[in-house]
Structure 1
Amino acid sequence: MSRFLVLLLLGFYFQLAFAQTEKKSINGKVIDAATKEPLPFVNVFLANTTTGTSSLADGTFLIEGIVIGKYDLIASYVGYKPFSLPVDFSEKKNGYTKEVQLTIELEQEAKELLAIVVREDTVNWARNFEDFKKHFLGETHNSKKCRILNPKDIHLYFDPKDGVLVAHSKKPIEIENLALGYKIYYYLYQFEVNFKTDLIYIFGVPRFEELVPNKDRQAKIWQRERKQGYYGSVTHFTRALRDSSLKESGFVVKKIFTKANPERPPDEWLNKKIKQLRDKNKSNVLILSADSKDSLSYYMKLRSLPKQVDSIAKKIYTGAEFVRSNKETLENINGKYEVVFDSREEIEYLNVVRRKYTEKQKSIFHFLSNSLTIYSNGYYEDVRSLFLEGYRSWHEKYSNILPLEYLPPLGK
């Protein structure tokens, strides 16, 4: 399994659960919060979609063709604080409406904040940038066809004492993904890799643009790669979980419990043995006897074993087992689950797990909250409540992420 545990904060990036015929719209005006003057050319978009626009000279904007569900509306303008507002078009929610009208007031960033220079590790920038790409774009098959177009806008700092790599960028990171046919503008809020704790935090907002294929063959390749990237993804899993169709969708999901490690004796017994052997060896030198079980090193190794280990239950979940306060909210979901998808791993993953053969895609999903709400378009909250380990922690990077409105063609 991949050794890194990933917190899914990749910009609220989940998927469309059903094709919807009724479309919604958002219209409004962007103004300066202090002067109340209109702001032209502000990027106004729905996070992790290809849906968005720019405000006109008078600050007005219109976004149409929005499918039912929940979204994060983003407004971004140089020199101003980013604006984010959850917009709920769910049919059964209070305030359900066909159209949202609003005025967005953007606050200017303080001049002293604009003048802050990130303490970069300029000497090791190239090495730090390779680490950034590894954890941001990934090392998947598709990552080989991705490139960051504005690398020098990314400020990188590595703290060798804490083993932490941090990245900042005032401008959106521009990613050209020739594997899936998208250009991504990523507004980075937080990027941190802790090499000591094996935790990765990536938090930001992506905006997608469709690339134009140069040939029909290119368009077919993109369609194939998008479809392949979708199946087995966290997005696919979340949709299946909401619809209680995990098994039918190719997922084998089992709950993981912790139990006492049967290979590790109790502390009281171990400490007694270790004390006895140390008393015999006052020089504190580890000397192995003919019987290794009489040696100090043997019992020290036993004491270093974890007190608890994971145990995987036999029951296979469909998604219907979770109590639901409504169709969208699953209760009592907190815990760890083994998730195996019925498809082989990418061959590039073998370098991580140090195997010579591929297996079915196996991951661990950690749900930290007791409840999880999944909307009809696949948007879920709280995004901070899900950690990944194993194959998905390696695979769910921006070389493989699809926009919110993507729907795979019928059939697999």
Structure 2
Amino acid sequence: MSYFKALLLLCGAWLLTLNAAQAQGKLSGVVLDSVTHEPLSFASVFLANTTLGATTTEKGEFEFPRVPKGTYDIVGSYLGYRLGKQTITVEAAPQRLTLNLAPTGNQLGEVVVKPAPNKPEEYRQFTELFIGGSTFSEQCRISNPDDVRVMLDDSTQELTARTKEFLQIDNDALGYRLKYYGLYFAYDKDAQSITYYGQPVFEEMKPRDEAQRRLWAANRLTAYTGSFMHFLRSLYTNRLAAGSFLAQQVRVVANPRYERNQQQRTALLAAGAAGAYSPAEKDSLRRWSREAPELATLYPEPRPIDSLRRVKPNGRVYLRFSGQLQVAHFGEAPDPRFKQRMNTLGPTRTPYPLQRQVSRLQLADDEAEIQADGSLRNPLEVAVGGYWGFEKIGEFLPYDYVPTGMPTPMAPARPAPAARPVRRR
């Protein structure tokens, strides 16, 4: 859909608890060569999308003494070997597992072909789409650009990027070093959609002084407040209003005039050069080029919680809605670099705060399971657009991030003059 620019955030499955008092489990194991079954010493082991990582001993062993209960992707990495990955569920009882990594070494007589360097314009487009254009994204840098292979398909105009090992991104705004293992990135120009996934791990960067530590803490809170992760956590705990969120239903139907008008536009374009069109024909071409294949109607009333989530008897929580869902977050101004027109909230008697960030959601199926850490068990099931589509790697936080100093719950506000934008440092 031309008006709905979807961004699929595909980050794998994991489950963390936000409550430090909840039971934790001990996770340990060994990393082995899948062929020789010999232990791999000093291999990297981490829980994807978190800051939890370890290095194996000389005997190939690792240990995570305190892991919050839940489901994770545990990943093993070692130079000259393919990534090893298992999906595990951590309970209170200790758990031990084995990660087998397959070697990728060259066979005797094998010819190694070095890929051609990335074309500067294609690499620049990839970084702009992947890193993003926010104030925080501007403070991110890729430290190993030669390790990513960017390709443009001449026939489909699809831009893709892959890494053999990992892509390292230093986020100087949030104080994280992100290693994105097994990155796959794709940009579909026709659908205006971006998809990327892999197994990222976060490392805390060392601040140069106390002032930078405080700045990083403040920026992380800014990145979290109003984010998709914040919304999912608020929905999971039935605290949308306390999180300053407003969810509204959007009904989407096919545009009955779209197909006919596009046929007329194609026929008119084939009839002659642009200079030969009459003023009326030029007006029709402009109008038809802007026409959307679908029509959307916004219902301004807030959606009740039972129409947004389903809680099973076993406690599992699901996001569910029909059509599209519009989500507004109040109290924080959009990033100054966000240049798109913000969607309206529709006619409403409630004087909501003027500072707002408005996003759109669409489900691939009837529902998507939400986990307590604010992640989706299957991120492929949800597409996001609007402001959440604008926020990318610059605002990317680990799912073991726990905010402090959150703002007070939302309450309807009296009409006020336009607030001064909050500058993101």
TM-score normalised according to structure 2 size:
0.80
1:187–1:206 Cα contact (<8 Å) kept = yes
Answering whether residue 377 of structure 2 is matched by residue 368 of structure 1, we say no
What is aligned with 2:218? Answer: 224
* Whole-angstrom CA distance in 2 between matches of 1:176 and 1:31: 30
Q: Tell me which amino acid in the other structure corresponds to 1:312.
A: L
What is aligned with 1:311? Answer: 297
Shift of 1:298: 5.0
Q: Point out where structure 2 has 5 or more consecutive residues left out of the alignment.
A: 344-353, 408-425
* Whole-angstrom CA distance in 2 between matches of 1:164 and 1:359: 36
* Whole-angstrom CA distance in 1 between matches of 2:52 and 2:135: 27
Q: Tell me which amino acid in the other structure corresponds to 1:368.
A: A
Question: Given the superposition, is the C-alpha separation of residues 13 and 34 from structure 1 closer, same or farther in structure 2, using an over 3 Å criterion?
Answer: closer
Answering whether residue 393 of structure 2 is matched by residue 398 of structure 1, we say yes
Q: Tell me which amino acid in the other structure corresponds to 1:320.
A: D
Report Cα offsets for 1:217-254 as digits up to 9, x if no partner: 11110110000100111100110111122222111111
Shift of 1:141: 0.4
TM-score normalised according to structure 1 size:
0.82
* Whole-angstrom CA distance in 1 between matches of 2:288 and 2:32: 66
What is aligned with 2:336? Answer: 347
What is aligned with 1:204? Answer: 198
2:24–2:92 Cα contact (<8 Å) kept = no
SS at 1:101's partner residue?
A: strand
* Whole-angstrom CA distance in 2 between matches of 1:385 and 1:261: 25
What is aligned with 1:256? Answer: 250
Answering whether residue 184 of structure 2 is matched by residue 190 of structure 1, we say yes
What is aligned with 1:33? Answer: 34
Q: Tell me which amino acid in the other structure corresponds to 2:373.
A: N
Q: Tell me which amino acid in the other structure corresponds to 2:369.
A: T
* Whole-angstrom CA distance in 2 between matches of 1:265 and 1:175: 43
* Whole-angstrom CA distance in 2 between matches of 1:303 and 1:49: 44
Q: Point out where structure 1 has 5 or more consecutive residues left out of the alignment.
A: 90-95
Shift of 1:182: 1.0
2:45–2:74 Cα contact (<8 Å) kept = yes
2:158–2:186 Cα contact (<8 Å) kept = yes
2:151–2:159 Cα contact (<8 Å) kept = yes
2:175–2:216 Cα contact (<8 Å) kept = yes
SS at 1:236's partner residue?
A: helix
- RMSD (Å) for aligned C-alpha atoms: 3.5
1:7–1:201 Cα contact (<8 Å) kept = yes
1:156–1:168 Cα contact (<8 Å) kept = yes
Report Cα offsets for 1:263-292 as digits up to 9, x if no partner: x4996xx89xx8xxx9xx9xxx98769xx6
- Within 5 Å, which residues of 2 pair with 1:19-98? 19-89=20-90, 96-98=91-93
Shift of 1:167: 1.3
The structure showing larger relative contact order (alpha-carbon pairs under 8 Å, at least 6 residues apart) is 1
Shift of 1:78: 2.2
Pick from 99, 102, 111 the counterpart of residue 107 of structure 1. Answer: 102
SS at 1:320's partner residue?
A: helix
How many equivalent residue pairs?
386
* Whole-angstrom CA distance in 2 between matches of 1:164 and 1:116: 27
Give structure 1 regions of 4+ aligned residues with deviation exceeding 6 angstroms. Answer: none
Answering whether residue 157 of structure 2 is matched by residue 163 of structure 1, we say yes
SS at 1:232's partner residue?
A: coil
Shift of 1:173: 1.2
SS at 2:217's partner residue?
A: helix
Q: Determine which structure has more spread, i.e. the larger CA radius of gyration.
A: 1
Shift of 1:46: 0.6
SS at 2:301's partner residue?
A: coil
* Whole-angstrom CA distance in 2 between matches of 1:79 and 1:220: 39
Aligned residues with identical type, % of pairs: 24
- Within 5 Å, which residues of 2 pair with 1:263-412? 264=257, 305-306=291-292, 308-321=294-307, 322-326=309-313, 327-330=315-318, 332-333=320-321, 335-342=323-330, 343-350=332-339, 352-353=340-341, 360-395=356-391, 397-412=392-407
Shift of 1:120: 3.9
* Whole-angstrom CA distance in 1 between matches of 2:51 and 2:397: 10
